[in-house]
Amino acid sequence: MREYLLTLCITAAVTYLLTGPVRKFAIVAGAMPEIRARDVHREPTPRLGGIAMFFGLCAGLLVADHLTNLSTVFANSNEPRALLSGAALIWLIGVLDDKFEIDALIKLGGQMIAAGVMVMQGLTILWLPVPKAGTVALTQWQGTLLTVALVVITINAVNFVDGLDGLAAGMVCIAAAAFFMYAYRMWYSYGIEAAAPATLFAAILMGMCLGFLPHNMHPARIFMGDSGSMLIGLVLAAGAISITGQVDPDSLFGGSEREAVHQMVPLYIPLLLPLTIIAIPAADLVLAIVRRTWRGQSPFAADRGHLHHRLLEIGHSHSRAVLIMYFWSALIAFGSLAYSVNSASMWIVLGVVFLSAIGLVLLLLPRFTPRAPRWAEAFVPPRYRRGRPAAQHPAEPLRPAPTGETQEEGQKGQEEPRTPVAAGVAGVNGATAIGPRSRFLDRRNAGSSR
């Protein structure tokens, strides 16, 4: 565990320290597109944050290769090299898109090529667990097509959800945390060495997101762009492929339990965890494709119909919309993880149902404005406090008028000497005198325009 934490910290530190210089480079390079109709930010913001994230990935893999225990992952498997090759290709395509806005079909072709490069180096799905049938081995073409499809879907799901400050990085970080816990348990609890690469990928992915988030939280100083969103999507897909399609599920159970596993679908939920952790981005992707196709548009045509856009439309603030998306991602990912550990516990199901109810209340919160009790108003934001009429302030004691006059006041012309006034009776532009002349000045000032 210490080596994983060291790898995570190094990845996060390199990403965090490089994001500042990358931001300056993006400004100089002109990677600051004008604000589009679907954007929610108000000022042009530089992209190319994926450059820092890619070098964080490289630093994490380099450090892991020189550690005692993690170096065996590189010695026994070619998957880290396959990941680096595919990541470099998809990152280069993303950098070009952030700068020159390349066509969507070209990006799709690049994503398929990057997935094919990883397949050629051994990172592919070899078999799938099928309920009541056991482990089904896939042919080379079946495994290749399924791997490419999973990579492309995951990349675009993460890319589609990257619409608010800190949203994509935070959701992927939550998914990577749940994925790391599951993969680490499979490796050290069950002794399955094939889960080691996926565990390493999840730790590095967490470091990439954590290092970039401080620069990307609202209001964001830099965006990750397609160079970052497609990169973290590919890393997430690589971990899912590694642990779902290369770890034999029959190796988790032996003896008389094997037949029971084939008959009980719930025990396959741990093997489907890599798919559940991208449930929110995948749902947004499917809805976007259906919505655009129904309107007669291209599935790659951008719009303001994503889930985060809808949260803003019903009244949520930017930060609250991001936190709600975090909440649902964590609920699905860690709920699936908890159910995989003990699928027979009803407390886990009841807990997920209870948290889901809380999530629904949070979604409807803008339609109902809660008011805090009077004794708690000092501890809540002003929008949750009860409105009250302005209190009439008691009159201040009379004070003598000042005798001196500054040079600036003398240049404004002769004025009447100040008279004692009662506080709380204020005129326009700060006039506080009372009497016929002051009321006349108030009416005159009120009728003038600034």
Rounded Cα gap, residues 265 and 271, in angstroms: 11
Q: Is 429 left (phi over 0), alpha (psi -120 to 50) or beta?
A: left
Q: What is the DSSP string of 325-367?
A: HHHHHHHHHHHHHHHHH-TT-HHHHHHHHHHHHHHHHHHHGGG
Rounded Cα gap, residues 278 and 425, in angstroms: 61
Q: What is the DSSP letter of 400?
A: P
Distances (CA, A) of 358 to 158, 308, 365: 25, 18, 10
C-alpha closest to that of 231 among 345, 97, 334, 326: 97
Q: What is the DSSP letter of 58?
A: H
Q: What is the DSSP letter of 373?
A: -
Rounded Cα gap, residues 84 and 2, in angstroms: 23
159 among annotated binding-site residues: yes
What number of other Cβ atoms are within 10 A of residue 324's Cβ?
18
C-alpha closest to that of 431 among 413, 443, 447, 448: 443
C-alpha closest to that of 93 among 105, 76, 83, 75: 105
Q: What is the DSSP letter of 49?
A: T
C-alpha closest to that of 218 among 329, 362, 310, 323: 323
Per the structure block, which two tokens stand in for 65? 């290769």
On whether the CB atoms of residues 277 and 175 are closer than 8 A, the answer is yes
C-alpha closest to that of 161 among 287, 350, 12: 287
Binding residues for Mg(2+): 159, 226
Binding residues: 159, 226
